[in-house]
């Protein structure tokens, strides 16, 4: 997949892990994007980019990136040693790559003013964080 930010200064290319979109409703993603973060997981080692990228360490294990020219949300990157995990903003690629929404996480903390239609996997904050805790423990940070 290939995409770009709003102004075109940042260009990205990556191969998706699966043909699916995900949505995260956690408080950080909502504050960062203004709504849910719609994303496509990039296959490890496939992300290539060029342009004025800035990053912010949003936690001890992750950073978020944006275009320094126009502010477009680019990706969420897991920074744990030994991991190459990028969730790419679906808005970077035309028509969100033609992919369908298959997963929503932090569904129980989503604002009540909107909902995504369709029958797809939905995970609560507790379910996501339990899985993430096991992942972090296995990383031996």
Interval 16-73: pLDDT, tens: 999 999 999 999 999 999 999 999 999 999 999 999 999 999 988 899 999 999 999 9
Q: In this structure, what DSSP letter does residue 96 have?
A: G
How far is the C-alpha of 87 from the C-alpha of 84, rounded, in Å? 10
- The domain segmentation of the chain, as residue ranges, is 2-139
- Here the tokens at position 11 are 């260009």
CATH topology classification for 2-139:
2.170.150
**pTM (2 d.p.):** 0.90
Question: Would the CA dihedral through 32, 37, 43, 49 be positive or negative?
Answer: negative
The pLDDT-based confidence of 80 (bands split at 50, 70, 90) is confident
Contacts of residue 94, Cβ cutoff 8 Å, sequence gap at least 6:
3
Look at the block and give the residue holding tokens 């003013």.
Answer: 113
């Amino acid at each position: 997949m290939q995409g770009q930010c709003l102004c075109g200064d940042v260009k990205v290319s990556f191969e998706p892990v699966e043909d699916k979109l995900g949505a995260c409703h956690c408080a950080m993603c909502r504050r960062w994007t203004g709504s849910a973060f719609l994303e496509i997981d990039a296959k490890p080692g496939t992300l290539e980019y060029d342009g004025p990228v800035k990053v912010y360490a949003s936690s001890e294990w992750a950073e978020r990136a944006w275009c320094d020219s126009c502010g477009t949300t680019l990706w969420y990157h897991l920074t744990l040693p030994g991991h190459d995990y990028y969730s790419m903003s679906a808005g970077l690629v035309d028509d969100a790559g033609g992919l369908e929404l298959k997963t929503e996480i932090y569904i129980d903390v989503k604002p009540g003013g909107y909902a995504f239609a369709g029958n797809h996997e939905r995970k609560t904050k507790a379910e996501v964080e339990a899985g993430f805790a096991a992942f972090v423990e296995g990383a031996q940070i």
